[in-house]
Each structure stands twice: as C-alpha cells, then as structure tokens.
C-alpha cells in the first residue's frame, strides 16, 4: 500500500497534468501574465543590466585572417629529372599540421617577440598596449620566478628615469641603461615610434602601467589555442589562417608573421633533404679521394720503377676482350660495394636515413627495384614527423608507424640481399671469363699483368669518384632550385575585426533569457493554479448540473467583520450583484411558499457569512420576511456582524435550553430577523443532524418567506 501522503501527492499531480492537457485556458494565461508583470519587468531589467555589464567590462576579442595557397615545385629537379621522393598527396594536410605545430609557432613567437606584453591597468580590467606602449624593454631572465608577474613601471616627467615595482620591491632605473639583478637583467627604453607628446598623453591617460614576461613555450601554447588553420578549397589548394586576440593590431601582425614565416620554413624544410645528401656525398668523396690518390700513386710508382709505358702493352684482340670483361667486373664491384654500404648503413641505424639512401641508389641499375620501398619509408617518416607535433613518442600511433617502418626496413634488406646475390652470380661468371683470358695472356710478361691490375683498381676509384662529383653537382643545383611556390593570396590588413563581445548577440540573449524565464514563471504558476477567478472556472471544475447564481465582487472598503452593507448603499455595484443573485434565485424554484437558502464555503474565511447576511438583506428589500440562522457553531460570526451577544441561539434551542421565540434578534431592517449560533457545543454535528432542527425549520417556515442558513464550511 502506498503511503496516504504519497498517494495524495500523486493524485494532485495527475489532476494538474490532466487539467493542463485538456483544459488549457488562454484567459488564465493572460491573467497570470498580468499578475506576474512586476516579476517579468524585473527579469527584463536584470537581463539587460547583465548584458550591459558584459558589454562594458568584457575584454574585446579581435580576429584577423589570411589565405595561403600551397604549391610544391622544384625547377632544378625538373631540369635534372631527379627522382623526387616527396609525397604530394597529403601536401595540404601536411601544411595545415605544420602551421599548427609548436615547432613552427615557436619561430613566429620568437620573430615577433610577443613573450613580453605591455598593459595599462584599469579598475575592472587591463588593456594590452602592444605597439602603443610608451616604453619597451630588453630583458635577460635568469630565473623562472619572474615569469607571469606584473612588473609596474613609473617614468619621471622627462622620461629619463623611473622605478620598477615587482613583488613588493622597488628598483630605480635610468632609461637606456641596463639594470642587473639576481633574477634578470633589464634595459628600458622609450618607444622610438612615438613622439614625446604622445608618450606623455599615454602616461597621463593610463595611471598604472605594467608588463609581463612569459615563457616562450607557454606563449606558443597560448598562440596554438588562438589559431585556426583549415583547408578552404582542396582543388585550389587554399588554406585559411585565422587568429583571435585581445589586441586588434596584434592579431593582424601574428597572422602576417605566420604566413611569411611559413614561406621561409617551407624552403628550409624542402632543401633539408639535399643538404643531408650533400653532406653524405662530401664524406664519401673524402674517402674515395684518398683511395684514388693511393691507387694513382701505386700506378705511377710502378711505371717509374719498371720504366713501363702503356704503349708497351700488347694490344691484341684477346687483351681487348679481357679489358672489356675487366670493365664489367669493375661495374659489378662498384654496384656491389654500394649495396654493401647501404646494408651497413641500415643495420647500423634502424631509423634508416632515407636521404642518404636516395643518394646511394640514385643512378644504379637496381634503383627502380627498391623505389617503392623507399617511397613507403619516406611516406611513413613524414607521417611520423607530423604526428610528433601533437603526440608523444610512446603513443600508440607512433608505435604503429615504427612497426611499419621496421617491416619496410626488413623488406628493403631482403630486396638488397636478392640484388646482391644476383651481382655475386654475375661477378662469378665474369671472374671465370677473366681467368680464361688471363690464361690465354699468360705468355705476356708479368709486368703487363701487374700494370693491368693497378690500372683496373685506379679505374674503379676514378669512376666512383667521378660519379660522386656528378651527384654532388646535381643535388647542389637541386638545393639552389628550391624556391617556395606557396602564395599569400590574402594578407591580414589594417586591424582585426571585433568578434566578441557582440552587442547584437548580448541583447538577443538577454531578450531570449527574459522571455524564457517569464514564460517559465507563468507556466509554473499555471501548473499550480488552483484559485477561482470567474464563473467559467466554477463551471469547469464543478461536477453535475450546477446552476450559477452570480458573482460577488470584492468589497473595497475595510470592514472588521462580515456585516450588512446593501442597506447602506443600495445602488453600489456590490448591491447590484446581490440583486442579480436574488433574481436568479427566483428562477430556480418558482413554486409558492417559503424558501430555504443554505450557504456554505470550502474553507473558513471565504466570505460565506458576509454573503449570507447580505443575501438575506437584499431579499428583505422586496418586502419578504427573512430570517438568518447561524449553524456554524464552531466559528459563529452572525452575532459579530450585527453586534449582539451570543449567549443564546441555535445551540441552546436544539438542546432544549431555550425556546425559539426567545432567540430572535432584530436587524436594522424591519422584516429581517436573525438567530445567532449560541454558545459552541461539544457536539455541533449531532445537534444539526437531530430531528429538533427539522422541527425548528418547519416552525420558521410558518413565520418567514425566506430562511437563510449560514452553514459551517464543508472543508
């Protein structure tokens, strides 16, 4: 079983819901709006006051934007037909991530020197002066304690000296001279772009000036949060760069610095591969040059000692074929040497220096065999580099890429092993041919064979050295050919546009908030509305076929107790209301004979006694004999309304203590009598339900035309 109180609450909620769903009353809504008008006006005043304060004291935010077109071209590569391993498919995405990266943005912060900010302090907020500051500083922090502290600056009238205030300390300084402390060294100088008069104006307008110094990494993180970089048109390769800041000019400078710095950064990044290759080639040139020098020395020494000339060599057909085989052996040895160099490089460094690898395989016969693998490695390295701007080296994404790189490295080693095996087989076959020719040339003197061997070694070193020189020339031209093809299509001009706070949005939000709160108030009041304000309400909430006799307006004058008023001002509105009720009573029962009018209410204090007295009075106006009897024995009020005692009355009549004729009281109207309730009995309900009351009513019917009964409230 449900708790009676819970069940009662559930029933009330059910009744409210049903009433709201089925009997939505526009009239009641309008009435409640009118009743809530003070609160509604208050809501509007509060909302618009808050909007005003928000607009007045919020820090303005300005926005600047630029458009960058991303292109990628190297004219030197086009001329030399070099293999370019850069992946252009993700060019746009790479550019977006590079611009948003902390590595790049740190360059912008250092270029603009925005780690130092200048402010004027107001009552409720501070304004950033930026280039409008009357002074600038050069500072060398020695400790992190100074970061993000307010350092106040006071200049004298001549702008030659001043005082620094930091953390409760005061330091005197001379303009353009260094001040050295344990925490920092600082030099303060007057803004050279402002006239002396303008400096005086700014100092006069802003009584409290200060600056803050922030860590470059912290400023970079803040800039990263203010920056928006996104693709506008993928086909046109355009990127939007947008920055929001509290200073309009600063937002413009940051956007322009980002676009200009990216052009420089792009050239540096793209020429890095050529720099790495050239560095490797220079190292190899040094090694090969030493080999070439030694071999050349041995050959010259041999010629001098043996007084040997190349003309002395027997140039027969067998020797020519032998030389051809030796040349092929030289080429195979050189290719195998390069493969061995690559394998050593890869096994030494699991990261695989892709740029050195490119330089080694460029121009070889097997270049195309491993090109796909090197391109995959290049692509994975670029992806890893971009991810490292946003995640740590231990993240799952980086681990996945490292796993793929390891697989590609193993695949590359396997491919090189296969190529190397092929060259070994080829070298073996050529070596056999060389041996055959050697045997045929065995009749040649021993000096000729030695000379041929030394010449072959010299030729190997010379060709390898020449190949490296050619590659160095090619990649030097490639490096010189790197010019950024990115174009700034739209620069940030003037000062940034104000985006916040928006006056239009603030007013709109205040208006909507006021309306919503007002509607919520009226809605809640409507949900819990349980008062009767019109005859229509009585009809709606009553059950059965109940006749409505009329409505009694509220009596405006202050009366201490319910009393007879219709006789004092017969033409008043309230008197007319009672006349209307009297008229409607005649239509309820038109049969001849005495009538009983019984009056009650839901609870005490609703005015039933007032209505009973005045209905009786208005009936008496017609010349009818009327009597009022007070049956509200717990809270009797009839005697108070007429100003008589309550010693005897209905309670004494029903108990047999008094006779009926002893209890009549006269009223100001001749044909209106009343009987008070009498002393309050302990059992009023039993007395009212007794037969004695029926006898009293029957007796009164014989004497009066109307019997008006003031009953106790039903509640």
Count of C-beta atoms within a 10 Å radius of residue 585 = 18
Is residue 310 pLDDT above 60, yes or no? no
Segment (H or E) for 126: strand 126-128
pLDDT tier, 607 (very low <50, low <70, confident <90, very high otherwise): confident
pLDDT tier, 354 (very low <50, low <70, confident <90, very high otherwise):
low
Look at residue 59 and tell me whether its pLDDT is greater than 50.
yes
Lowest-confidence region among 77-81, 226-230, 345-349: 77-81
pLDDT on residue 678: 92
Nearest CA-CA partner of 633 in 693, 550, 581: 693
Please enumerate, as own/partner, the contacts of 512-520 that have beta carbons within 8 Å and a separation of 24 or more: 513/43, 513/47, 514/40, 514/43, 514/44, 514/47, 514/48, 517/43, 517/47, 518/36, 518/39, 518/40, 518/43, 518/44
Task: For residues 412 and 378, give the distance between their C-alpha atoms in angstroms, rounded to a whole number.
Answer: 13
Q: Which of 675, 557, 551, 672 is nearest to 617 (CA)?
A: 672
First to last CA, the chain: 26
Q: What is the mean pLDDT of residues 355-374?
A: 63
At 378, the pLDDT band (50, 70, 90 cuts) reads confident
Instruction: Answer whether 609's CB lies under 8 Å from 570's CB.
Output: no
Q: What is the pLDDT, as a whole number, of residue 297?
A: 72
Between strands 595-599 and 706-710, the pairing is: parallel
152 burial type by CB count under 10 A (0-12 exposed, 13-18 middle, 19+ buried): middle
For residue 432, what are the CA distances in angstroms to 322, 325, 326, 329? 11, 10, 11, 11
- Has residue 134 got a pLDDT over 80? yes
pLDDT at 550 over 90: no
How many angstroms separate the CA atoms of 188 and 160, rounded? Answer: 10
Range with the largest mean pLDDT of 361-365, 412-416, 592-596: 592-596
* pLDDT at residue 645, rounded to an integer: 92
| Residue 314 pLDDT class (50, 70, 90 cuts) | very low
DSSP three-state, residue 664: coil
Q: What share of the chain is helix, strand, coil (3-state, %, to 5)?
A: 55, 15, 30
Quickly count: other Cβ atoms within 10 Å of residue 357's Cβ.
22
Report the pLDDT averaged over residues 252-264. 87
Longest dimension (CA), the chain: 176
Question: What span, in angstroms and rounded, lies between the C-alpha atoms of 663 and 461?
Answer: 148
Which residues, at least 6 apart from 346, have a Cβ–Cβ distance to it below 8 Å? 352, 357, 409, 412, 413, 416
How large is the average pLDDT for residues 5-9?
Answer: 60
For residues 478 and 597, the model is more confident at 597
Phi/psi at 674 (nearest 5 deg)? Answer: -150, 150
Using alpha carbons, select from 603, 621, 608 the residue that is nearest to residue 713.
603
Lowest mean pLDDT among 311-320, 485-494, 544-553: 311-320
Beta bridge partners of 171: 164
How far apart, in whole angstroms, are the C-alpha atoms of residue 475 and residue 353? 17
DSSP string, 545-573: -PPP----PPP-S--SS----TTT-TTSH
Mean pLDDT of 41-52: 92
- Average pLDDT (450-463) is 68
Higher pLDDT, 168 or 688: 688
Average pLDDT of span 237-266: 87
Which domains are assigned to the chain? 4-58+503-527 (no CATH), 116-213 (no CATH), 315-443 (no CATH), 547-710 (3.40.50.300)
**Which of 217-221, 231-235, 347-351 has the lowest average pLDDT?**
347-351
Q: In degrees, to the nearest 5, what angle opens at C-alpha 69 toward C-alphas 66 and 72?
A: 145
Position 80 scores a pLDDT of 39
pLDDT of residue 42: 93
Position 445 confidence tier, pLDDT thresholds 50, 70, 90: low
Most confident of 456-470, 515-529, 554-568, 617-631: 617-631
**Percentage of the chain surpassing pLDDT 90?**
12
54 — pLDDT class (breaks 50, 70, 90): confident
Q: Is the pLDDT of residue 356 over 70?
A: no
pLDDT at 369: 67
User: With a threshold of 0.75, does the pTM exceed it?
Assistant: no
Q: pLDDT value at position 699?
A: 92
Distance from C-alpha of 564 to C-alpha of 568, rounded to nearest angstrom: 8
Q: Are 284 and 344 in contact (CB under 8 A)?
A: no
Work out the mean pLDDT of the chain and round it to a whole number.
78
User: Residue 135: is its pLDDT beyond 80?
Assistant: yes
> Do strands 595-599 and 626-630 pair parallel, antiparallel, or not at all (unpaired)?
unpaired
Average pLDDT rounded to a whole number, residues 668-684:
91
207: its two tokens? 């009584």
Which residues make beta-bridge pairs with 5? none
Parallel, antiparallel, or unpaired for β 169-174 and 227-233? Answer: unpaired
pLDDT score of 89:
44
Which DSSP state fits 712?
Answer: P
Going by pLDDT thresholds of 50, 70 and 90, the confidence category of residue 627 is: very high
Angle at the Cα of 662 from the Cα atoms of 659 and 666, rounded to 5 degrees: 140
Tokens standing for residue 59: 């820090």
Q: Is the pLDDT of residue 84 over 50?
A: no
Instruction: Read off the tokens for 349.
Output: 């460094």
Task: Decide if pLDDT at 263 tops 60.
Answer: yes
Instruction: Note the pLDDT of residue 77.
Output: 44
Residue 436, pLDDT score: 64
| Whole-number pLDDT of residue 438 | 60
For the cut 50, the answer to whether the pLDDT of residue 88 exceeds it is no
| Overall average pLDDT of the 446-467 stretch | 68
* Confidence bin at 365 (pLDDT 50/70/90): low
Nearest to 220 by CA among 73, 114, 71: 114
Find tokens 């390898």 and name the residue.
Answer: 464
d(C-alpha 573, C-alpha 588), whole Å:
23
Confidence (pLDDT) at 355: 54
Q: What is the pLDDT of residues 632-650, one digit of tens each?
A: 998 999 989 899 999 999 9
Say which residue the tokens 């002396």 belong to: 196
């Amino acid at each position: 079983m449900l708790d009676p109180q819970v069940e009662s609450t559930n029933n009330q909620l059910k009744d409210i819901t049903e009433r709201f769903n089925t009997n939505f009353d526009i009239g009641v809504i309008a009435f409640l709006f009118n009743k809530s008008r003070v609160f509604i006006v208050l809501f509007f005043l509060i909302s618009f006051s808050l909007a005003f304060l928000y607009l007045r004291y919020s820090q303005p935010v300005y926005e600047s934007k630029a458009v960058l077109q991303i292109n990628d071209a190297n004219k030197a590569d086009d001329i030399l037909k070099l293999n370019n391993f850069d992946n252009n498919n993700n060019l746009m995405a790479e550019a977006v991530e590079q611009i948003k990266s902390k590595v790049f943005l740190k360059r912008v912060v250092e270029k603009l020197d925005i780690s130092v900010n200048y402010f004027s302090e107001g009552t409720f907020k501070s304004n950033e002066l930026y280039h409008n500051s009357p002074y600038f500083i050069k500072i060398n922090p020695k400790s992190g304690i100074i970061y993000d502290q307010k350092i106040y600056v006071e200049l004298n009238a001549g702008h030659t000296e001043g005082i620094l205030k930091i953390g409760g300390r005061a330091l005197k300084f001379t303009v353009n001279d260094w001040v050295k402390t344990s925490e920092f060294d600082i030099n303060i100088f007057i803004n050279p772009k402002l006239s002396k008069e303008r400096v005086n104006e700014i100092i006069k307008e802003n009584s409290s000036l200060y600056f803050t110094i922030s860590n470059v990494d912290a400023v970079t993180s803040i800039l990263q949060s203010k920056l928006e970089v996104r693709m506008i048109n993928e086909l046109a390769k355009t990127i939007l760069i947008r920055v929001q800041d509290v200073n309009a000019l600063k937002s413009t400078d940051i956007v322009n610095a980002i676009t200009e710095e990216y052009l420089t950064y792009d050239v540096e990044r793209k020429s890095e591969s050529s720099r790495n290759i050239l560095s490797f080639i220079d190292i190899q040139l040094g090694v090969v040059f030493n080999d070439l020098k030694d071999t050349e020395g041995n050959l010259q020494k041999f010629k001098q000692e043996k007084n040997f000339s190349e003309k002395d060599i027997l140039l027969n057909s067998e020797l020519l074929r032998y030389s051809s085989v030796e040349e092929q052996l030289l080429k195979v040895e050189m290719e195998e040497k390069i493969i061995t160099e690559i394998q050593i490089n890869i096994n030494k460094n699991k990261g695989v220096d892709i740029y050195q690898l490119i330089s080694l395989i460029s121009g070889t016969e097997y270049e195309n065999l491993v090109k796909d693998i090197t391109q995959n490695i290049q692509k994975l390295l670029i992806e890893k580099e971009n991810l490292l701007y946003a995640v740590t080296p231990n993240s799952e994404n980086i681990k996945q890429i490292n796993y793929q790189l390891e697989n590609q490295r193993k695949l590359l080693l396997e491919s090189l092993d296969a190529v190397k095996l092929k060259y070994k087989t080829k070298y073996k076959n050529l070596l056999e041919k060389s041996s055959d020719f050697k045997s045929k040339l065995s009749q040649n003197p021993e000096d000729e064979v030695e000379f041929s061997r030394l010449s072959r070694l010299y030729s190997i070193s010379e060709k390898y050295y020449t190949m490296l020189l050619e590659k160095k020339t090619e990649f030097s031209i490639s490096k010189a050919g790197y010019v950024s093809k990115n174009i700034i299509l739209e620069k940030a001009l003037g000062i940034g546009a104000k985006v916040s706070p928006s006056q239009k949005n603030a007013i709109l939000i205040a208006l909507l908030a006021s309306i919503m709160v007002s509607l919520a108030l009226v809605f809640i009041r409507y949900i819990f509305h349980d008062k009767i304000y019109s005859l229509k309400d009585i009809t709606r909430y009553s059950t059965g076929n109940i006749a409505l006799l009329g409505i009694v307006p509220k009596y405006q004058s202050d009366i201490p107790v319910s009393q007879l008023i219709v006789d004092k001002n017969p033409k008043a509105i309230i008197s007319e209301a009672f006349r209307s009720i009297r008229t409607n009573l005649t239509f309820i029962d038109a049969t001849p004979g005495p009538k009983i009018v019984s009056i009650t209410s839901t609870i005490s204090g609703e005015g039933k006694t007032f209505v009973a007295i005045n209905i009786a009075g208005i009936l008496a106006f017609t010349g009818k004999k009327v009597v009022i009897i007070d049956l509200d024995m717990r809270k009797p009020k009839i005697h108070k309304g007429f100003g008589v005692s309550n010693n005897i009355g209905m309670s004494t009549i029903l108990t047999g203590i008094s006779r009926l004729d002893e209890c009549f009281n006269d009223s100001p109207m001749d044909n209106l009598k009343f009987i008070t309730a009498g002393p309050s009995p302990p059992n009023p309900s039993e007395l009212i339900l007794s037969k004695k009351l029926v006898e009293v009513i029957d007796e009164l019917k014989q004497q009066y035309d109307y019997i008006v009964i003031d009953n106790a409230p039903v509640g």
